[in-house]
Structure 1
Amino acid sequence: MLGLGHVAMNAAEKNVPSNRLPYNSRQRQPSTDSDSSTTSDNNRSMDGPGANEYKFTENTHSNEILQGLNDLRKNGQFCDVTLSVDGVKFLAHRNVLSSFSPYFKAMFLSKLAESKQNVVQLKGVEVDMMSLLLDYAYTSSIVITRSNVQALLSAANLLQVLPVRDAACLFLERHMDASNCLGIHCFAEQHACTDLQNKAKDYALQNFLEVCHHEEFLGLLPAKLVELTSSDNLQVDKEESVFQAVARWYNDKPEIRRPDFYKVLETVRLPLLSPYFLHDCVENMPVVKQNPDCCQLVEEAKLYHLLPDRRAELSTSRTKQRNSADTIEVIVAVGGEDDKVVLRSVEYYCTKTNTWRTLACLPFAVSKHGLVASGKNTLYLAGGEFPDGSASRTVWRYDPVLDFWQEMASMIVPRSELGLAMLDGCVYAVGGWDGAYRLESVERYDPSTNSWSMIEPMKMAITSPAVIAHDGMLYVTGWYSGAVLEDGDGIELVQRYNPRTDTWNELSPMLIPRSGAATCVLNGQIFVVGGWHASTENTNRVECYNVQSDTWEFKAPMCERRYRPGIAVMEGKIYVLGGEEGWDRYHDTIECYEPETDSWKITGEMPTSRSWLSCVPLQVKKSLCREKS
């Protein structure tokens, strides 16, 4: 081999200082041709300031080193360790093994017995895979096939040869289909290949209708099936398809799977099934009939269908639409006043994307109306005040499927600043202002006959009440009555109406009097937020009523003071929109209440600031949504 001593000797023979190269060499630059085996990392001229330095790099050096080490291994030269796999011996070099595998590096640098042994026993690795990985260590190349990919990934994962493991994952990902995605998912999960595990699961969820007909699906363990069928991202055309897949899985091994079937059925969103399918297919399945827990799930779904206007109270994870549904649940905001300008706009807010879209606007401008959502996913708007100050008797129904407002039978009494609620399938219009007097009267609308009738009036004429239906009763809180109180104070009186006896009774009063508040039901309790409280003007105070104990307690106050805001409950949270801060300030912010932490935070903005708006949760078709300009 030609070394530096030889170069120095030649320079001395030619009377050239040993620390300099001959003139001809200094003038010749490294070749830049594509077939050259050398290159220069520093192209500065040797006649310049860096003439005493020349960095030379041989591109093929690393490959030649690997090739040389591999030749030494094959010839058994300089090998200092033998790997034994199922009795088969592999000669190798400790430094090479340590360089390509953290597993071997930790082994040979530790004080374990293996660090001193000449023969190291390896378990959990197949002979052929060890041979492939050793070839990779000495050549940087490996061939992955359908027949060896799983065993190779397992061995590479054990020996921490991460590039090979990742290459095997990529191979599996590229060969993934409906027949093997579940097997790949489970295999990746066993080997902590998180990225491949998630991609395989996503593939199974997105192609569930095809995946569920393959053999791998029938072999799933109950826990893994539950993981799939409980996902909001399960892509199905209808929930009936999920039940049919689950039933097919059960019928493959009924005796073994009978004890776990309840846990699987619990993930099927039975309330979203057709009531006829629920009766004919689910309830008549023998394993369902014989299991009381399964029967309870069916009863829950039946109640959801039988009591449509109480669906908010019956809300569970099983009543939530999957993301593949052609509808989404949103908060619809209707009308309102912006600096005393009456709005006709109807928009919805998506809490997931924090975006607004428009729906068909109101037939005419009206404010201080009542709005309620029926259990059959329609809206009823009643009463209100026209721009000329007169009260309205008109009633409109909104159909989100057609995106259309249809006029219904008018109320008996014109009402603005009324309260509106849906109870046992009927719409209740409570109190309000008829243009001349405050009203104590209450009337009820029957959608089946499209007619209104008067019921037992309240004991006091009121306007701006907060009205809510809960568990078969009507609750009226937080109103204003100038006929009784001076200076426009709100009232802390709470009344409850029983439709079965047509009677009213008083409950424990609120902690502070208020009018123009908003109310909702969350987790079986009634929340009253904001409104007008004379001692502090508009308020951000929030209180909560426990129906069982007939008691009130304060909750965390809102971030902003709000009079006549909109309110809606979505996915276990309260959203409050808009409202008045004072006589000349309207909010355009949205606040969200987290019951787990008893805290509020601003989560979004409205297209325009306003008060006197009405808000309800509603299912709307994605195809009807138009972007807010």
Structure 2
Amino acid sequence: MLLPTADQYEIVGIIQQCCQFLLEELRPSNCLGILRFAHHYFCPSVFLVELDSKLSSDIDLNDPIARPRIPYEILFAVGGWSAGSPTNFVETYDTRSDRWFLSMNTDATPRAYHGLCMLDKLIYMIGGFDGSKHFNSVRCYNPISKEWKERACMYNARCYVSVCTLGGKIYALGGYNGRVRMSSAERYTPRYNQWEIIPSMHKQRSDASAAVLQNKIYIVGGFNGTEVLSSAEVFDPVPQQWTFIHSMSSARSGVSLISHKDCLYALGGFNGVTRLNTGERYDPNQSPNWREIAEMFSPRSNFATAVLDEMIFVIGGFNGQTTIAYVECYDVVSNEWYDASPMNLNRSALNACVLTGLSNAKDYSYLSKVHEIGQGGSSDCPNN
């Protein structure tokens, strides 16, 4: 393509002509793709301003045909560590507008280094740390009623905990209780509002990450109190047994593990020396080894990940010097990363999950903010 070549060799005139062509081709159906493309190839900022104003002037939001559709998926980013303290900040991301919005529906207690998951269209926030206390408590958010409620506490306090769901149950693995890094694990059944102890992992792991693939739970990396780990384990819930799999090529704590399209992706983290922008993929159907993938633009540890619109999003984190708001998305087919709009708040130690098919999804999307502006309300400071 002409624009990537012109960008590589810094041919300003051709870059400007390409940007003008993109502007002329802008349509409601392709605006997000063109905007991401323009960000990726560093089109001049004046083009992006013109693009944004063109969208504002050319699209009649009162026209139901032109109006952005209600998104099927909404990403929630909850809690974290910012400006030296924990936060109860909640933001939602609407892919159709590529914007983040602040939510007023925050929990009373700020917390960071917690686990987060979605089950039966409810968001569960598990364990964590408020700067002095390590939590065993569980908070549950109902996005329809917009209320937070307490659920049964875990047996153990756990921050830096790894959390995932399988078979309608929530698993909390490892973590740090304020004294030791743990190998213990427990499982929550929402129907009975009850936790139960399950077999411990082979390794003590805090600041690790877990994900589910093919009805098994995988956990990778972490810190055992002495060293950063590259090892990985898998839990089969039928025999209730942990088994080692091949180690990652890099040791990683503050890593994020996510499953997508029958593979696992271990992204970023801290290797004991530096924050990483590298990632690796594990495909149990093809090879027992981890394979490197394209590098992220920004190194980061203690960040959130989620799959949205068939892409893997990495959100916030710590880059070795400061907490960041930067967001990137990864296309597993092309093995390429793209920039997305940053959050409103720099933060690490946050977590995220995606809810689908909410009956009130518009309350967490661009459409709600357009309505508020029309009624004289606040736009909640969207980025862009």
TM-score (norm 2): 0.75
What is the CA-CA distance between 1:586 and the residue it aligns to?
1.5
Counterpart of 1:441 (choices 184, 194, 198) is 184
- Partner residue of 1:347? 91
* 1:554 matches 2:292: yes
State the distance in 2 between where 1:357 and 1:503 align. 42
User: Equivalences for 1:145-544 in 2 at 5 Å?
Assistant: 328-359=72-103, 360-374=105-119, 376-388=120-132, 390-483=133-226, 485=227, 490-535=228-273, 537-544=274-281
User: Which whole-Å CA distance do the structure 1 matches of 2:300 and 2:198 have between them?
Assistant: 32
* Contact 2:205 2:221 (8 Å CA) reproduced: no
Where is the helix percentage greater, Structure 1 or Structure 2?
A: 1
Question: Is the CA contact 1:403–1:624 (under 8 Å) kept in the aligned structure 2?
Answer: no
Q: Deviations over 1:302-347 (max 9, x none)?
A: xxxxxxxxxxxxxxxxxxxxx866x631211001111322111111
Equivalent AA in structure 2 for residue 371 of structure 1: L
CA distance in 1 between counterparts of 2:322 and 2:122 reads 32
Aligned-residue offset at 1:601: 2.1
Q: CA deviation at 1:623?
A: 4.7
Q: 1:602 aligns with which of 322, 339, 362?
A: 339
Q: Distance in 1 between matches of 2:184 and 2:266?
A: 22
Inter-partner Cα distance in structure 1 for 2:116 and 2:107: 12
Contact 1:432 1:463 in 2 (8 A): yes
Q: Which has the higher contact order (CA 8 A, sep 6+)?
A: 2
Q: How many residues align?
A: 302
Q: Which runs of 5+ in 2 are unaligned?
A: 1-62, 370-378
- Map Cα deviations across residues 219-273 of structure 1 (whole Å, 9 max, x no partner): xxxxxxxxxxxxxx8x9xxxxxxxxxxxxxxxxxxxxxxxxxxxxxxxxxxxxxx
Deviation at 1:413, TM superposition (A): 0.6
Q: What displacement does 1:467 show?
A: 0.6
1:624 is matched with 363
Runs of 4+ in 1 over 4 A off after TM superposition: none
Contact kept? 1:347, 1:358, Cα under 8 Å: yes
Deviation by residue 1:509-536 (Cα, 9 ceiling, x = unmatched)? 111111111121111100011000124x
After superposition, where does 1:68-87 map in structure 2 within 5 Å?
A: none
Report matched runs for 1:99-114 at 5 Å. Answer: none
Per-residue Cα deviation, 1:419-457 (whole angstroms, up to 9, x for no partner) = 010011100000001111111100000011000000000
Q: Secondary structure at the match of 2:88?
A: coil
Deviation at 1:628, TM superposition (A): 1.9
Q: Determine the C-alpha separation between the residues in 1 that align with 2:184 and 2:332.
A: 35
Q: Does 1:573 align with 2:311?
A: yes
User: Which whole-Å CA distance do the structure 2 matches of 1:609 and 1:401 have between them?
Assistant: 27
The aligned amino acid for 2:81 is E
Who is 1:203 aligned against? none
Task: Give aligned-pair identity as a percent.
Answer: 25
Distance 2:237 2:111 in 1: 30
Task: Please identify which structure carries the higher strand content.
Answer: 2
Q: 1:590 aligns with which of 311, 327, 336?
A: 327
Distance in 1 between the 2:362 and 2:73 partners?
Answer: 13
CA distance in 2: counterparts of 1:602 and 1:324, whole angstroms: 22
What secondary structure sits across from 1:428 in the alignment?
A: strand
| Alignment root-mean-square deviation, CA | 2.0
Query: Which amino acid in 1 is paired with 2:291?
Result: E
Look up the equivalent residue of 1:589 and give its one-letter code.
Answer: Y
Task: Work out the CA distance in 1 between the residues paired with 2:332 and 2:380.
Answer: 31
**In structure 2, the residue corresponding to 1:335 is in which secondary structure?**
strand
Q: Is the 8 A contact 2:117 2:163 kept in 1?
A: yes
Per-residue CA deviations over 1:334-368 (Å, capped at 9, x if unaligned) read 01111322111111011220222233102211111
Secondary structure (helix, strand or coil) at the match of 1:440 reads: coil
In structure 2, distance between residues paired with 1:324 and 1:539: 37
- Kept in 1, the 8 Å contact 2:100–2:341? The answer is no
Instruction: Write the letter of the residue equivalent to 1:579.
Output: G
Deviations 1:485-523 (A, max 9, x none): 3xxxx2111100011101000101111111111121111
Aligned to 1:379, what secondary structure does the other structure show? strand
User: Is the Cα–Cα contact under 8 Å of residues 100 and 342 in structure 2 kept in the other structure?
Assistant: no
Q: Report the alpha carbon displacement of residue 410 of structure 1 after superposing the two structures with TM.
A: 0.6
Aligned to 2:10: none
Q: Which residue identity is paired with 2:249?
A: L
**Residues of 1 paired with 2:131 and 2:209: CA distance?**
23
One-letter amino acid of the structure 2 residue matched with residue 454 of structure 1: I
Measured against aligned partners, the alpha-carbon deviations of 1:25-50 in whole angstroms (never above 9, x if no partner) come to xxxxxxxxxxxxxxxxxxxxxxxxxx
Q: Flag the 1:623–1:331 CA change in 2: closer, same or farther, 3 A.
A: closer
**In structure 2, what is the Cα distance between the partners aligned to 1:622 and 1:445?**
27
How much has 1:624 moved relative to structure 2? 2.8
Instruction: Give 3-state SS (helix, strand or coil) of 1:538's partner.
Output: coil
- Give the C-alpha shift of residue 411 in structure 1: 0.5
The one-letter code of the counterpart of 1:581 is: N
Offset at residue 622 of structure 1 (A): 3.6
User: 1:551, CA displacement in angstroms?
Assistant: 2.2
Alignment partners' CA distance in 2, 1:410 and 1:500: 25
Query: Partner of 1:532: helix, strand, or coil?
Result: coil
Q: State the secondary structure of the residue aligned to 2:150.
A: strand
Question: Structure 1: how far apart are the matches of 2:94 and 2:167?
Answer: 28
Larger radius of gyration between Structure 1 and Structure 2 = 1
Deviation at 1:596, TM superposition (A): 2.6
Q: Secondary structure at the match of 2:187?
A: strand
